[in-house]
Amino acid sequence: MNLLPGFAYIEMESISNLTPLVMKTLAGFIAGIPKAELHLHIEGTLEPEMMLALGERNGVPLPYPDADAAKSAYHFSDLQSFLDIYYRATAVLVTEQDFYDLTIAYLQKAVSRKVCHAEIFFDPQSHIARGVPFETVVGGIGQALSDANGGLGISTKLIMCILRHLSEEDGNAVLEQAVRWKRWISGIGLDSSEKGNPPGKFRELFAKARHYGFFTVAHAGEEGNASSISEALDALHVIRIDHGVHCMEDPVLVERLRLDRIPLTICPLSNVRLNVFGSMREHNLKTMLDAGLCVTINSDDPAYFGGYVNENYLAAAEALNLDRNDIIRLARNSFEASVLSNVQKKLYLQKLDHYVDSFIQ
């Protein structure tokens, strides 16, 4: 596919190796450490500059005269206030080329931040409701993933999220379409506004998804309390919880998560920007890590929340006094919590160990 004219894409040749001086800092260590990203909404990587370029290309009017005006509007009081802006911005995504451009831009950023593997969410229902066909969405995203797997050296899995504020019937309709695209779609997730939309609402849909051979994950315990996490595990039988920060309210649940090694994909900057925590210093990531939970760091919707995966690592490290051992554990968790095969996990973990050994030497 042709890339978006006039948009600045990262050329792999321009990504230089880290200098020894930079490597001696914790920021440098984070920048270079191999990692996986498991909680990333591709629509949430739509940077203001690309949004404006796509709006102009597709004749979609936007309320922002420039990128700075768009960024200044990104003030959120809670998850719903963010979703209102988020869904409005996706109106510029119309063609297969748009979804390709969006996805390849993220993958190039990910590779530059030493992300070796990415498991990426997309929300087809939000696009279908605007008249964009399912095949247009998945075609553009899937082709970008395929090109990146070969050209950028990053492995990927694509997860189709069900919008929980819509009905299970609506979700079932899009699930039936996903079956035809299993060559690209590997998993089914659950996202959108958690309040008033408990996991059990989609019990039958997730059972059907597992029957079709999809792995399943769900957002829970972001807006909702610890019981939302337990319900996602018991009603949906998911293998991983996205967010899950409210698990610490329930010691029994914490022990279950620890013993069963159920991963939690934490998004620090997102949690602060959406007022789940008042500040990064108040975040419970370190407490969860010290409790033996399999927590990972991710960027969620980086175009809106102030940073990609490395920026999330660094913000958490600085505020919570994470040391190099914590960073190594988080990076190891990211591969272990993925749906990669055991052989693939072993290879990535060896790459991680080699990086750590080289740093120590």
Say if residue 39 carries a ligand binding annotation. Answer: yes
Residue 47 known to be catalytic: no
Nearest CA to 237 among 193, 205, 267, 195? 205
Three-class HEC string of the chain? CCCCCCCCCCCHHHCCCCCHHHHCCHHHHHHHCCEEEEEEEHHHHCCHHHHHHHHHHHCCCCCCCCHHHHHHCCCCCCHHHHHHHHHHHHHHCCCHHHHHHHHHHHHHHHHHCCEEEEEEEECHHHHHCCCCCHHHHHHHHHHHHHHHHHHCCCEEEEEEEEECCCCHHHHHHHHHHHHCCCCCEEEEEEECCCCCCCHHHHHHHHHHHHHCCCEEEEEECCCCCHHHHHHHHHHHCCCEEEECHHHHHCHHHHHHHHHCCCCEEECHHHHHHCCCCCCHHHCCHHHHHHCCCCEEECCECHHHHCCCHHHHHHHHHHHHCCCHHHHHHHHHHHHHCCCCCHHHHHHHHHHHHHHHHHHHC
* Rounded Cα gap, residues 15 and 112, in angstroms: 6
Instruction: Determine the Cα–Cα distance for residues 47 and 66; give it in Å rounded to an integer.
Output: 12
Cβ atoms within 10 Å, residue 249: 13
237 is in an annotated binding site: no
Catalytic residue chosen out of the listed positions 37, 119, 222, 231: 222
According to the annotation, is 219 in a ligand binding site?
Answer: yes
Query: How many angstroms separate the CA atoms of 337 and 161, rounded?
Result: 18
Is 41 annotated for ligand binding? Answer: yes
Pick out the residues of the known binding site for substrate.
301
Q: Which residues are catalytic?
A: 222
Feature table: binding site: 39, 41, 219, 300-301
